[in-house]
Amino acid sequence: MIRRSCVIGTGSALPERRVTNEELARTVDTSDEWIRERTGIAARHIAGEGETTATLAADAARKALDTAGLTAADISLIVLATATPDQTFPSSASKVQDLLGATNAYAFDVGAVCSGFLYAIATADALLKTPAGAAAGGRHRALVIGAETFSRILDWDDRGTCVLFGDGAGAMILEARDFPANQADTAPGIIASRLHTEGAHNELLYVDGGPSTTGTVGKLRMKGREVFRHAVTNLADVLREVMDEAGIAPAALDWVVPHQANARILDATAKKLGLPPEKVVKTVQDHANTSAASVPLAYDVAVRDGRIQPGQLVMLEAMGGGFTWGACLLRS
Ligand code: ACO
């Protein structure tokens, strides 16, 4: 027998307020043309009063529960990836557990910035396969969420960063299922994951505050050009690693759902691997960079518009502050 964590539902949520590049250019020294040319971004959603990381996460989770035909009580584990929690503690995952009424679930946050969802899904996958990790409620189902409100940590006077990010949330429900070993090539679920960290690059992408240093929340700082260079190399390397582990070539992939940082990073990574651009799911034009939310958000968009179909091979990948990066191959 093989045990796989299968994706049985997805959902996403965006703040009500959509801000176009033109609208942004009224208050920031920038232009629609500059933003589109350098990043592919046309608009982003910005959280308003009452909209927080946890409320967006809970909205995305409710939609995922709906598509899976489950209630919150059916969930045994909640892993929430975020770099913009509602509070320093308790975790935003605890708040989501309460908002949903998922009383059978144990819940915690994972912090790996833009790669957070890759870290969260790998963690949930591993836990679902252990008797102790899957034990709560005996249900073996995880709610894996990426949710962010980066608008609250942006320096709106820094045009080099504030135009790049947006707010949102995406959620996936994983269920551990057993399959006969001879079905390994066709069984749905997570096939392989790889994660990496290189802490030496802190100064290229970071927040200049924190509870244990300045006692403030801080603002996002980034050396964009250098991040770009590392992103393309690291992502191509980790994608190759996961494909090698699974014994597949890029041509076998039906879809790549990348972290939506920048259309140029997506294009450059696809080119490096010889992946046709039409196999890459792109939502950066509508959402900008939503950090840990971007992969599950893009995945949900592609499921709902009919691109991702059951039985297809899908690669998730992301890179972010830390640096952290990772990839995950699954059959939908
Ligand atoms: N509007 C207009 N002009 C701008 C803006 C703006 N919003 N931002 C910067 N500029 C100007 C700069 O002042 C500079 O002007 P100068 O030449 O007169 O000095 C010029 O544009 C070029 O600035 P650079 O920062 O060198 O621009 P670059 O071509 O590197 O593009 C960008 C910047 C888009 C951030 C790019 O470096 C990039 O995409 N980096 C990847 C970073 C990223 O996506 N990070 C996301 C988080 S990490 C992750 O998720 C992978």
Domains detected in the chain: 2-181 (3.40.47.10), 184-280+291-331 (3.40.47.10)
The conformation of residue 55, written as its DSSP 8-state character, comes to H
Enumerate residues 6+ apart whose C-beta is below 8 A from 45: 14, 15, 16, 17, 18, 19, 166, 167, 168, 287
Active site residue 201: no
Sheet of 313-320, strands arranged across: 189-197, 324-331, 313-320, 255-258
Residue-level pLDDT at 135: 56
Helix, strand or coil, per DSSP, at residue 3: strand
Among 140, 259, 262, 328, which one carries the catalytic annotation? Answer: 259
The phi-psi region of residue 116 (left if phi > 0; otherwise alpha if psi is between -120 and 50; otherwise beta) is alpha
Nearest CA, atom 49, ligand 1: 320
Active site residue 259: yes
Q: Is 205 in the pocket of ligand 1 (CB under 6 A)?
A: yes
Active site residue 289: yes
What H or E segment, with its residue span, contains residue 303?
A: helix 294-304
Residue-level pLDDT at 97: 98
Residue-level pLDDT at 140: 87
Q: Report, as ranges of residue numbers, the positions in the chain whose pLDDT lies below 70.
A: 132-139
- Which atom of ligand 1 has the smallest separation from the CA of 162? 7
Rounded distance from Cα 34 to ligand 1 centre (Å): 9
Q: What is the ipTM metric for this complex?
A: 0.93
Rounded distance from Cα 225 to ligand 1 centre (Å): 7
